[in-house]
Amino acid sequence: MPTILVLATTADGAVDDISLQALTFGRRLATGGPVHALVVAGEPGAEGTPAEATAAGFGAYGAAQVHLARHPAFETFAPDAVAAVLADLAGRVAADAVVGPGTEAGNTVLARAAARDGQPFAANCIAATLGSPAQVTRQRWGGTLQEEAALHGDRAYVSVAPHAVAAEALDGSSAAVDAFTPDIADADLVVRVVDRVAAAASGISLAEAKVVVSGGRGVGSTDGFKPIEELASLLGAAVGCSRAVTISGWRSHVDQVGQTGTKIAPNLYIAAGISGATQHMAGAKGAKKILAINKDAEAPIMSAADYAVIGDLHQIVPAISAEIRRARGA
Amino acid sequence: MKVLVCIKSVPAVAGRITLTPDARAIDTKHLGFAIGPHEECAVEEAVRLIEAHGGEAVVLTLGPSTALEQLRDALALGVARAIHLVTDGQEWDPESTTAAIVEAIRADEAASGPFDLVLVGNEAGDSADYQVGVRIGRALGRPVVTAIKGLSVADGRARCEQEASGGRDVFELPLPAVVGVLEGINLPRFPSVPGRLRAKSKPVEASEPARPAQRLELQRLVVPQGAAKQAVVLGHGPDAAPAVVEVLSNLGVL
Amino acid sequence: MASFPTRAKVVVIGAGIVGNSVAYHLANLGWRDILLIDKGPLPNPGGSTGHASNFIYLVDHNKEMTQLTVESARQYQDWGVYTTCGGIEVARTETRMNELRRRMDSAKNWAIDDARLVTPAEIKELVPFIDESILVGGFYTPGVGVVDSLRFGTLCREKAEAMGALTVFANTEVTGLGVENERIRTVETSRGTVEADCVVIACGVWAPKIAEMAGSHIPLTPTVHQMADYGPVPLFEQSTKAIEYPIVRDMDVLMYERQDGVGLEVGSYAHRSILHDPEDIPSNEAAALSPTEFPFTQEDFDPQLEDALELMPSILGDERVGQKYAINGLIALTPDGMPLLGETPEVKGLWSAAAVWVKEGPAVGKCVAEWMVYGEPSIDVAQSDISRFHAHQKTRQHTKRRAFEAFPKTYGIVHPAEQYLSDRPLRRSPMYEWQAAHEAEFFEVAGWERPQWYRSNAPLVEKYGVETRPNEWDARWWSPIINAEHLAMREAAGIFDLSAFAIFDIVGPGALERAQRVALRQMDVPVGKVVYTPVLSEVGGFKSDLTIMRLGERVFRVVTGGAHGMSDLKWFRDHLADDASLVDQTTAFTTIGVWGPRARDIVQSITRADMSHEGFPFGTCRTVEIGSQLVLASRISYVGDLGWELYVPMEQGLRLWEELWAAGEPHGLTACGIGVYGTTGRLEKGYRAYGMELDGDYTIVEAGMVPARIKAQDYVGREAVLRQIAEPPAALLCTLTVDDHTSPSSGEKRYPLGRQPIVLADGTPLTDAKGRRSYATSAGASPSTGSYILFAYLPPDQAVEGNQLFVEYFGERYPVTVRVVGARPLFDPENLRVRGITEAVVA
């Protein structure tokens, strides 16, 4: 039975759901074999660093052994240092596969660890089976295309595409936590976060917004976004846009929803004048409900939307704002 | 300074993706090709660095002969010369891509001096492997950062910014270094006519590296069949507003 | 959404500029139950309309195209979607400047009176961002404009829907067409099957594919036209409207540049011809942009960029101005460059409205609708009639080869006699090898290779002292040998290959009635009579002119020109009933003409039949034995001389030709080309030609072709003819001759080639009471009289014999005299020669 090592990441000291998904994925890959998890942490009590209990929390998702690597260097993100510990641990536990979350941080650490280990790495997998070679199914083009590939190596490095599996706790499962202090070479600390600058207060973050109102090519101009901004402000929503809009220079890329922009997961996504090109929908897949406003009743977005209003967004969006005001005034 | 920017020529997909009969590639009969979105910004970033600091920007691609068009696009934007590692059109996995690029970098550096920066797209627009930049850095022994949306160079160091919740994380790397760029770091310019005409006479150095055995071996592609929904039409035109507000209310977002 | 109908009066396929316009005009003319479908979304379903540059240049050398464009501009203006910005065609070379002077001739012909030539300094004033130092001059049309073709289409639909006449279904793909008894019955679509009386295929580049579903042919090929948008242009940022500066056509490099908001759109016809098949066009879903916007191929465009940069350095040389959007847009090209309009000849009720540009769209919509509703459009679109094609012209390969050749000529300087060179030879007469051996210079008509003249006749030029033409343009596609062959024919005899004739028989108990119905002249004639007759439309315009032989009580043989033969065939077929049928004999027979004072001697020497004037009178036909062949001989002449048209099976043609040639040698028989038959011979005999003098715009009264007696039997156009006769003519067809060929500027002798304005001494054009301009409908030498003839319709007050007028040629005026008003020939006015009497003329 294979041995699996999972890179478990934390955010502000708390368990990251995406890591639980990776752990669930890894556990299934182990098919009953031992599952290890690596958690990196700064000095106990340091701001934003996970506590031992947090690390132990991964046990509930099937990690039999949690390795808690404590080092002051881990108080900020140092991807080479994490990768060094990960690759070293993979060797120590003789892992057949190293699994991690398919986030920017997860992918960069896994890539670095695989490179150190001289192994291939498959990013953003949605399925895998071990063997010689290992088989993976991974996402391309933001998930609009899937690749089935063989991974020829001594150890399979895979990252798990977000939401490819749901995190699933295992009844009565708990983990032993092995805290240790790794040796970290100076060379592995060249790349590390040395500062954090606050973002200019720019309203609601697109990635975290509960409601997003977006405009596409159909909006037509920078000024055309005013009614969309108005509706967003009424709903406490973030404003988004499609790539056509950013390329035209109507809005900053910060607002772009899509494969190469922000991936959003709101409760409601209102897409106005957006046809629903693959590049855009790759970023909007996380939305729970989609309302499309489009003059074309058969635009591609209609097969992804829950609700639709057919017609000119320049008339419809202000009418919705007016109706909300009326409803609230009553 | 000297900057290398690595680009990939990817199909300009917008509508439904169709595959070749062997399902090993996208059918590009009706499609054009473009520089991947992240790399487009990397090219712009390279050109801006050279405009600010002087020196030379070089563009490199590993791809079929048709990728020459994307090299010309980069040359039109102000890149000085191009290196084309010509393939037969088959995909190269990340490790073999890295090996070919590293070999080309070493050869170029031996001939005309080291690159201060190697810029790559954070991940390829099509295969999205998330590792070629990291592997190049590892192979050359140079620091690598990924997911970068802000870049400046001063006193032999690169200041690289990465979006993080509530702000931006800052890395400071000694040069030479490798930087994986994300779209949005800048708004790329469009090629001017004089730029386009200058591009025609800029040098493109072509070679044909041998494709080694693939360790991430593509077997076939699948277009996932998403459960197509049929949207409930709430109405036509502004008259639909009350119905929309009712839905908003039911969803609890009002 | 309403449910998809199961029945409609008419289904219009394609919601681009053409389909929308057809639907609207049908509704406007009173039709109801119109169903408009498109496989793409609205308002831009993804066809060529969606990426059109949308500008309207008004002046074309071709009358039909200009009329369609002017009418379209009027409709766009009426609906407020026309922005007038002016347009300048600029010349970088003197050769092009000459072409622009010729454009002025056409502007005058078609009454586009605000057009004028401008100097480089004037161009600079109109277009401040141009480098005028590389220009020789320009042709400026202030009325040129840009239209919103998508908005026009939307208005068409809205208006027709408001009339309760139209139902529209987007995203509805045609999957099949149902045909029964050669008539359209159903349209099968992705939403279901709909029965229809009529179907209009208005889906541009997809039209061939749809037509094939019904076994019909719409011969066009999708062709790439490259366009790119550059911006933002600092100068345009102050503009208050989308276009403030005139559109520039840089004719010498086959490009155009126009403002579009803050951008400059650059279009090119200079790149290689890039042809596609309709099957190559992706679906809306699979297309990256729209289905007809193919990925831009930069390497094809790069060479053109240098030309554009040279003309507009202040914009395109600006490093801040970038290439923002660029496409390989698909447009539709046809084998002869004209649109494809009308009912398809293969399937009744199946109409084509394809290969139409935005500048013609609204007028085409109107014409096709009128054609469907009334049977005749208000603009004569004969040259666009889809029934014009011979079989080979309907093939993909021929269409592509011709489109490949024609594409680079989109902005080219095309000589009026210019020959296509591709896909030849295709149809070879039995005499082809003989003619090639005698150094024939072949011109092509309807695929046939026809000798225009024989280089082997060059010695005759010296013999007759024929003058050559000093100007290269005048002498292009021409030879003095034509005039020499003409004189040899008049002196002795000439032999002509007329294999290209279209021939069809009307057979059956109702043959007489059917022939009667189509022909203006009396067809109830004895068997063996040959009748030359105009064919008219219901409104009294010319549809054709041709000869009909009565071969039997129930057999009539129609003989007409090859170029127009297939349209005539459809016209006759459309006017048949069950009591008669039509048999196409075009390729069954070859026709050999022998004419001249010695023609009778020649033919008589090899036949035992009586070929004397009394034994074989003019205007009769009968079968005679010549050697081992039975030959149908018809004593008529289009060159106005004694002789016969001789009809034999195609495979025996060479044998007859050789026997005539051998018999003719002692009599001085000369092989003559179509240069004599079509121009010199006919003009000096005052014979009119369909497509030249005779078209839908003029009447038999104006053309001087009113028969002595209007036949009592009903025929198409009879009521109109009675009306025309009752009112004074607005113009009369006259024969004019050029008094002095000397160019006022160069001193060179010039020879107008036709389609030049006839003007007063001060250049004022002549306009008749119907608003039509006087122009030379035909032009050519009269070698027998030593003069140079122009035919022209003149207003009655100018149609006075001896009246001096002027012809304007490349902007210069040459004195002409009105020699004949009406049909009397300039040469042999008593028509003695066809009777075999030459002495009177010679003396």
User: Is the Cβ–Cβ distance between C229 and C219 less than 8 Å?
Assistant: no
Q: How far is CA A15 from the centre of its chain?
A: 14
Computed over every residue of chain B, the mean pLDDT equals 94
Predicted confidence (pLDDT) at residue C168 exceeds the cutoff of 50: yes
Would you kindly state where each structural domain of chain A is located, as residue ranges? 4-189, 211-329
Computed over every residue of chain A, the mean pLDDT equals 90
Can you give the pLDDT at residue C137?
98
Tell me the CA distances in angstroms from C217 to A285, C200, C220, C371, C391, one per residue in order.
46, 13, 9, 19, 10
Would you kindly state where each structural domain of chain C is located, as residue ranges? 7-189+221-333
CATH number of A211-329, picked from 3.40.50.2300, 3.40.50.300, 3.40.50.1440, 3.40.50.1220: 3.40.50.1220
Q: Which contiguous run of DSSP H or E holds residue A25?
A: helix A17-30
User: Is the Cβ–Cβ distance between C618 and C636 less than 8 Å?
Assistant: yes
- The residues of C that are catalytic are 225, 256, 545
Beta strands in C508-570 (DSSP E): 530-536, 542-552, 555-560
pLDDT digits (tens, 9 = 90+) for B218-240: 999 999 876 667 788 899 999 99
pLDDT digits (tens, 9 = 90+) for C508-518: 999 999 999 99
Chains with ≥3 CB–CB distances under 8 Å to C: A, B
Q: Give the residue-averaged pLDDT of C357-363.
A: 97
Can you give the pLDDT at residue C662?
98
Helices (H), chain B: 37-53, 68-76, 94-112, 132-140, 193-200, 241-250
Rg of the Cα atoms in chain B: 21
Confidence of residue A203 (pLDDT cuts 50, 70, 90): low
Q: pLDDT over 90 for what percent of chain B?
A: 84
Secondary structure of B84-128 as H, E, C letters: EEECCCCCCCHHHHHHHHHHHHHHHHHHHCCCCEEEEECCCCCCC
A195: left (phi over 0), alpha (psi -120 to 50) or beta: beta
pLDDT digits (tens, 9 = 90+) for B60-102: 999 999 999 999 999 999 999 999 999 999 999 999 999 999 9
Q: Pairing mode, if any, of strands C589-595 and C643-649?
A: antiparallel
- A171-195 burial, b for 16+ CB within 10 Å, e for fewer? eeeebebeeeebebeeebebbbbee
Q: Give the residue-averaged pLDDT of C131-157.
A: 96
Would you kindly state where each structural domain of chain B is located, as residue ranges? 2-228
User: Is the Cβ–Cβ distance between C340 and C258 less than 8 Å?
Assistant: no
With vertex at residue C545, the alpha carbon angle to CA C539 and CA C546, rounded to the nearest 5 degrees, is 140
Q: Give the residue-averaged pLDDT of B6-22.
A: 89
Can you give the pLDDT at residue C585?
96
Rg of the Cα atoms in chain A: 22
Can you give the pLDDT at residue C841?
44
Locate the chain A residue with the closest alpha carbon to B164: A196
Confidence of residue C842 (pLDDT cuts 50, 70, 90): very low
CB-based contact C323 B191, cutoff 8 Å: yes
pLDDT digits (tens, 9 = 90+) for C237-279: 888 888 999 999 999 999 999 999 889 999 999 888 899 999 9
User: Is the Cβ–Cβ distance between C800 and C682 less than 8 Å?
Assistant: no
Q: How far is CA B86 from the centre of its chain?
A: 17
Question: What is the three-class DSSP state of B144?
Answer: strand
pLDDT digits (tens, 9 = 90+) for C427-485: 999 999 999 999 999 999 999 999 999 999 999 999 999 999 999 999 999 999 999 99
CB-based contact A296 C1, cutoff 8 Å: no
Distance, in Å, from the CA atom of C550 to the CA atom of C513, rounded to the nearest integer, reads: 13
Let me know if C761 is exposed, middle or buried by CB neighbors in 10 A (0-12, 13-18, 19+).
exposed
User: Is the Cβ–Cβ distance between C642 and C463 less than 8 Å?
Assistant: no
Computed over every residue of chain C, the mean pLDDT equals 95
Predicted confidence (pLDDT) at residue A66 exceeds the cutoff of 70: yes
Distance, in Å, from the CA atom of C501 to the CA atom of C592, rounded to the nearest integer, reads: 10
With vertex at residue A247, the alpha carbon angle to CA A244 and CA A252, rounded to the nearest 5 degrees, is 100
Question: What is the three-class DSSP state of C388?
Answer: helix
Tell me the CA distances in angstroms from A295 to A184, C158, C178, C293, one per residue in order.
59, 15, 33, 21
CB-based contact C41 A300, cutoff 8 Å: no
Confidence of residue C1 (pLDDT cuts 50, 70, 90): low
User: Is the Cβ–Cβ distance between C674 and C440 less than 8 Å?
Assistant: no
pTM (2 d.p.) = 0.89
CB-based contact B138 A112, cutoff 8 Å: yes
Nearest CA to CA, how far is A225 from chain B (Å)? 17
Annotate C749-818 with DSSP letters as a single string. Answer: B----S--BEE-TT-PBPB-TTSPBPBEEEEEEETTTTEEEEEEEE-TTT--TT-EEEEEETTEEEEEEE
- The span from the first CA to the last CA of chain C, in angstroms, equals 84
Q: Pairing mode, if any, of strands A238-241 and A211-215?
A: parallel
Q: Which contiguous run of DSSP H or E holds residue A35?
A: strand A35-41
Confidence of residue C694 (pLDDT cuts 50, 70, 90): very high
User: Is the Cβ–Cβ distance between C394 and C106 less than 8 Å?
Assistant: no
Predicted confidence (pLDDT) at residue B200 exceeds the cutoff of 60: yes
Instruction: Name the phi and psi angles at B224, rounded to 5.
Output: -65, 135
Q: pLDDT over 70 for what percent of chain C?
A: 99
Can you give the pLDDT at residue A246?
86
CB-based contact B217 A142, cutoff 8 Å: no
Number of H helices, E strands in chain B: 6, 14
Distance, in Å, from the CA atom of A42 to the CA atom of A50, rounded to the nearest integer, reads: 8
CATH topology of domain A4-189: Rossmann fold (3.40.50)
Closest listed residue to residue C287, CA positions, set C46, C572, C545, C88:
C46
Can you give the pLDDT at residue C839?
57
Can you give the pLDDT at residue C843?
36
Closest listed residue to residue A266, CA positions, set B167, B224, B252:
B252
Closest listed residue to residue C266, CA positions, set C211, C213, C329:
C329
Count Cβ atoms below 10 Å from residue C610 Cβ, excluding itself.
Answer: 11
Q: Give the residue-averaged pLDDT of C375-393.
A: 97
Upstream peptide bond of C128 is cis (omega within 30 degrees of 0) = no
Distance, in Å, from the CA atom of A141 to the CA atom of B129, rounded to the nearest integer, reads: 11
Chains with ≥3 CB–CB distances under 8 Å to B: A, C
Count Cβ atoms below 10 Å from residue C429 Cβ, excluding itself.
Answer: 24
Can you give the pLDDT at residue B227?
61
Q: What are the structure tokens assigned to C126, written together?
A: 């109109």
User: Is the Cβ–Cβ distance between C830 and C843 less than 8 Å?
Assistant: no
Q: Which contiguous run of DSSP H or E holds residue C226?
A: strand C221-231
Upstream peptide bond of B176 is cis (omega within 30 degrees of 0) = yes
CATH topology of domain B2-228: Rossmann fold (3.40.50)
Count Cβ atoms below 10 Å from residue C151 Cβ, excluding itself.
Answer: 14
Residue with tokens 């595959």: B19
CB-based contact A300 C42, cutoff 8 Å: no
Predicted confidence (pLDDT) at residue C643 exceeds the cutoff of 60: yes
Q: How many CA atoms lie within 13 A of B28 on its CB side?
A: 15
Closest listed residue to residue A115, CA positions, set B179, B134, B180:
B134
Which of B134, B186, B214 is the best residue to mutate to test the A interface, defined by the most A CB atoms within 10 Å of its own CB?
Answer: B134
Mean pLDDT lowest for which of A243-252, B87-96, C490-499? A243-252
Tell me the CA distances in angstroms from C444 to C417, C418, C500, C837, one per residue in order.
11, 10, 9, 34
Let me know if C758 is exposed, middle or buried by CB neighbors in 10 A (0-12, 13-18, 19+).
buried
Running DSSP on this structure, what letter comes out for residue C136? -
Distance, in Å, from the CA atom of A123 to the CA atom of A136, rounded to the nearest integer, reads: 10
Q: How many CA atoms lie within 13 A of A317 on its CB side?
A: 28
**Is residue B138 within 8 angstroms of chain A, CB to CB?**
yes
With vertex at residue C567, the alpha carbon angle to CA C564 and CA C570, rounded to the nearest 5 degrees, is 150
Can you give the pLDDT at residue C735?
98
Predicted confidence (pLDDT) at residue B169 exceeds the cutoff of 80: yes
Query: C467: which residues sit within 8 A by CB, 6+ positions away?
Result: C480
Q: What are the structure tokens assigned to C581, written together?
A: 């049928």
- Is CATH 3.50.40.10 what the domain over C7-189+221-333 is classified as, yes or no? no
Q: What are the structure tokens assigned to C335, written together?
A: 């084998």
Locate the chain B residue with the closest alpha carbon to A252: B184
Query: C148: which residues sit within 8 A by CB, 6+ positions away?
Result: C54, C81
Q: Give the residue-averaged pLDDT of B184-195.
A: 92
- Angle between helical axes of B132-140 and B94-112 (0-180°, round to 10): 50
For CA atoms A13, A17, A23, A26, the dihedral sign is negative
Predicted confidence (pLDDT) at residue B17 exceeds the cutoff of 80: yes
- Dihedral of CA atoms B247, B249, B250, B253 in degrees, nearest 10, equals 100
Distance, in Å, from the CA atom of C692 to the CA atom of C161, rounded to the nearest integer, reads: 41
Q: What residues of chain A, 247 to 306, have a C-beta less than 8 Å from chain B?
A: 249, 252-254, 256, 259-261, 267-268, 277-279, 289-292, 297, 300, 302-306
Can you give the pLDDT at residue A200?
65
Distance, in Å, from the CA atom of A289 to the CA atom of A307, rounded to the nearest integer, reads: 8
Locate the chain B residue with the closest alpha carbon to C293: B30
Predicted confidence (pLDDT) at residue C619 exceeds the cutoff of 90: yes
Q: How many residues does chain C have?
A: 843
pLDDT digits (tens, 9 = 90+) for C601-615: 999 999 999 999 999
Which residues from A are below 8 Å from B145, CB to CB? 191
CB-based contact C171 A298, cutoff 8 Å: yes
